[in-house]
Amino acid sequence: MSEIKTLTVAELAAASGGRMVGDGALHIARVADLETAGSGDIAYVEDEKFFDKARESRATCLIVNREYVSSQKNESASAFIEVAKPKLAFALIAEILHPQKRREPFVHDSAVIAKSADIDLTVFIGPHVSIGEDARIGAGTRIEAGVVVGDHVSIGRDCVLHPGVVVYDNVTIGDRDILHAGVCLGADGFGYVRGDLGYHKFPQVGTVLIEDDVELGAYTCVDRAALGQTRIGRGTKLDNMVHVGHNCDIGERVVIAAQTGISGSVTIEDDCVIGGQVGFGDHIRVLSGAVIGSKAGILPGKIVRPGVWWGIPIQPLDEYKRLNAHLGHLPEMRKEIKELKKQLDELKKRSG
């Protein structure tokens, strides 16, 4: 949830680095899409195919690019903010108009907090929170209802732990991180050794490091390392229900969509994009700049180089498209083969 602020078009243009066109004194209270925007709203248009819809919009202000301004049909809004990347400017303005809700310092009576915990006086702690021995929580952080923070956990400044988050012992969380409902950090990794009478648990005594400005979606799980650490790099964003196995190293500014499962000891370098429902085998290395499409499957030990990849097992996008095109013709090819076989049998009978 977020609060709502009201600013003028001129103030928003300055904040987003854009050029103001029209009445800069108009007040903007909300962001909205083109179809639903009305008085006091700001919307954006980036793709030329939506220009006509933008001209019909009732938004008080539109964030546009140079192509839209040069189209000379700007009757729709009373003001415009011209920028190179309207969608990015829209996101920046949304952060200003709808800042994250801040809570006053507070500790609920039902919270159970170890005496050795070091908690900044500006922290909010909601009902039924449990905080373990020697835990540290930095200034401005929000711990919402039902969160469990284990022993020797370190949480930085201005973090938000939404209801039901569980942080096991010895986990480190940086500054400005957002953990959505049900996130679990530091559960044991899936590591076992086969013995004569069954499986024996391999030691899971490592830790988890979540660096600054990371956001983890609801019910995402990051397992602790067997030995060493599992790391999520600065600025990385994980969607809902992503699983990160033990000893994984996820770099900076990586985005991973929902229901992706990452086996142990996988390395994903900086600035990679991973689609939804991607399956990773163990000991894979994804090099910086790689893009992996949804529902792809990656075999253990593979190195994924920069470029766009898709399919099971993954392959370069162009090859995947060619294969798919061939697969689409399989029914008619099967029919042709049956017909050719029939003709061949007839020829054999005649020659015999």
Query: Which residues are marked as active site?
Result: 246
Q: State in Å, rounded, how far the first CA of the chain is from the last one.
A: 82
Pairing of strands 178-179, 148-149: unpaired
Secondary-structure percent of the chain, ordered helix, strand, coil, rounded to 5: 20, 30, 50
Helix (H) or strand (E) holding 149: strand 148-149
279-290: b or e for each residue (b if 16 or more CB lie within 10 Å)? bbbbebbbeeeb
Helix (H) or strand (E) holding 229: strand 229-232
Angle between helices 317-328 and 330-351 (to 10 degrees): 50
* Residue among 140, 251, 342, 196 nearest 262 (CA): 251
Contact criterion met (CB below 8 Å) for 89 and 63 = yes
Could you please report the per-residue DSSP string of 258-314? TT-EE-TT-EE-TT-EE-TT-EE-TT-EE-TTEEE-TT-EE-TTPEEPSEEEETTTT
Give the dihedral of Cα atoms 169, 170, 175, 176; nearest 10 deg: -30
For residue 184, the one-letter residue type is C
Q: Which residues contact 327 (CB under 8 A, 6 or more apart)?
A: none
Rounded CA gap, 158 and 187, in Å?
24
What tokens appear for 176 in the block? 């400005």
Q: Please tell me whether the peptide bond between 313 and the residue prior to it is cis, using omega within 30 degrees of 0.
A: yes
The SS3 assignment for 161 reads: strand
